[in-house]
Amino acid sequence: KSQIQALDRTQPILPLRPGIPERQTHDYTRHGTTTLFAALNVLSGEVLGECMPRHRHQEFLRFLQRIERSTPRRLAIHLILDNYGTHTHPAVQAWFAAHPRYQRHFTPTRASWLNLVERFFAEITDKRIRRGTFRSAGELVRAIRDYIRRRNHQPQPFMWTTSARSIARKVRHCNEALETGH
């Protein structure tokens, strides 16, 4: 998840009171950004996440190395990736060529919903980032790390709520529309 903004409200948040919801101003001060690279274990629900200041191929390679160190060598690794340029950079392609246990699966254009890690990104945005107040990018990064750590204490896998037939039909439709060389 790129360009997560560390936002601080210009006025204090007004607390929740009986009959009155919590309120915050619409204006804010921006204190920098971070990028969250994340890998989701779809069986356990555990998340491996790392915040970095930028979203380039160099940072993606660092995250791949972290996945490599964190995953037992006997296991194959399936990565669901979007078509972001970072994922197809020549240096990244070379890294994958040197690490054959990685199988890459690219989501069709406009089908990010196929990647369950996007569900985690929505969750952390809704539960921690969106209404948060962060006075620095470092404070935002600490909040993200803390959220991931707490979530991983009792991880819950994300479950599809529609039928396999419906998902397969949508995937076929997306694949028919996809004209990339992946």
Length of the chain (residues): 182
> How far apart, in Å, are the Cα atoms of 41 and each of 2, 6, 48, 63, 175?
20, 27, 8, 15, 24
> Is residue 33 a contact partner of residue 4, using CB atoms and an 8 Å limit?
yes
Tens digit of pLDDT per residue, the chain (182 long)?
888 999 888 787 778 889 988 887 788 888 999 999 999 999 999 999 999 999 999 999 999 999 999 999 999 999 999 888 899 999 999 999 999 999 999 988 777 878 999 999 999 999 999 888 899 999 999 999 999 999 999 999 998 888 888 888 887 877 776 655 55
In words, the CATH class of domain 4-177 is alpha beta
Give, in order, the Cα–Cα distances in Å from 152 to each of 22, 106, 149. 28, 26, 5
Task: Identify the pLDDT of residue 10.
Answer: 79
End-to-end Cα separation, the chain, in angstroms? 21
The pLDDT value given to residue 54: 94
Q: What is the pLDDT of residue 179?
A: 54
The pTM assigned to this predicted structure is 0.83
Euclidean distance between CA atoms 125 and 117, whole angstroms: 12
